Structure 1
Amino acid sequence: MEGETSCSNPLHDAREEFVSQWGTLGSAWGINRTMAQIHALLMTSPRALSTDEVMEALQISRGNANTNLRDLVGWGLIRVVLRKGDRKEYFESEKDVWKMFCTISRERRRREISPATEVVARCAESTKGLKDPDAQAFHDQMERLLDFLKLAERVSDAVASSEKNFVVKLAAKLFSK
């Protein structure tokens, strides 16, 4: 990252490694690599950064920075900060990891699980009562998938609205055996 120059700065090196790896992980999770890197940069920054600072740190274009910053605002993972007397917009990330997790869970439900549930429900409904064995098999599969997606919605809702301690205790019970 360009913003911090030093021959041997452990903080700079660690932040650079984290930002790079978060970008790689973001790609594996279906998130744009640059979006994940911007999120990592803001998540680890002690202060809000301007678009120019993000561009410089990650060596990305203004268009790429603006698009991904707006997407992160849309996800609710970062927010715009205005400074009195300054026309620039600054951006800061939520620092609370649990709140980030809940936000991502809620957004993934809204953007991915709910639309899939709607499609599968329509497909199940449109094949209900058909007598052809292939149609019945298709309908049965849609019903099983719909049951699973509805469960995923309930779990997502429960996690997103839960207190951290409750979920940690539940996870400990589930994974302690």
Structure 2
Amino acid sequence: MNLPEAKAQFIQSWGVLGSQWGINRTMAQIHALLLVSAKPLSTEEIMEQLSVSRGNTNMNVRELIDWDLVHKVITPGERKEFFEAEKDIWKVATLIMYQRKKRELDPMVKTLNQLSNIEGEENDADVKAFTETVGNIKKFAGQAEKTLDTIIKAEENWFWGSFLKLFR
């Protein structure tokens, strides 16, 4: 398989994977393109290589920047904006986990906390079943939250530990 074919297959596969992260396919494909690009790309280059509109490209690049997965690069002598992806895959995975936690798990935990205090007789079978189910989901969500926090913090601790070793 030659490089253009491999690149196209990677971009398509990452697009499908992105849909499973909860982001749209085009956003994931732009991310994939920037991941495998040797140099930062302009909006025009992204549009041309993926055959997407300027508006779609701009919207998705901005969202990738919000997720901290893509960064704007200043190129001396150029008026165009250029973009590059975070290449450290551990950091990419951590950033995605953080965003998913913030966008999916945190609101669910907030809702579960609100649902924990329902009115009704404790001995009522329906109230008891509802409360028990919500409590179990809340417990599971709490464990998931702790696990994700541990993974996210592990990256921060590794960074600061490595950074501080430079000065010892």
TM-score when normalising by structure 2: 0.86
1:111-157 Cα offsets, whole Å, 9 max, x none, are 11111100011011234865432122111111111111111110001
Residues 162 and 98 of structure 1, relative CA distance in 2, 3 Å threshold: same
Partners of 1:141 and 1:83 lie apart in 2 by 55
Task: Identify the match of residue 153 of structure 2 among 132, 146, 161.
Answer: 161
Residues 124 and 16 of structure 1, relative CA distance in 2, 3 Å threshold: same
* Secondary structure in 1 matching 2:116: helix
Task: Identify the match of residue 114 of structure 2 among 122, 130, 142.
Answer: 122
Counterparts of residues 60-139 of structure 1 (less than 5 Å)? 60-127=52-119, 130-139=122-131
Partners of 1:82 and 1:63 lie apart in 2 by 21
Deviates more, 1:87-96 or 1:118-127: 118-127
Q: What's the offset of the Cα at 1:82?
A: 1.9
Partners of 2:129 and 2:99 lie apart in 1 by 32
Task: Identify the match of residue 54 of structure 1 among 19, 29, 46.
Answer: 46
5+ residue gaps, structure 2, are 159-168
User: How many residues are matched?
Assistant: 157
* Secondary structure in 2 matching 1:126: coil
1:36 and 2:19 aligned: no
Residues 82 and 129 of structure 1, relative CA distance in 2, 3 Å threshold: farther
Which residue identity does 2:76 align to in structure 1?
A: K
Which residue identity does 1:119 align to in structure 2?
A: T
5+ residue gaps, structure 1, are 1-8, 167-177
* Secondary structure in 1 matching 2:27: helix
Report if the CA contact (8 A) 2:94-2:155 is conserved: no
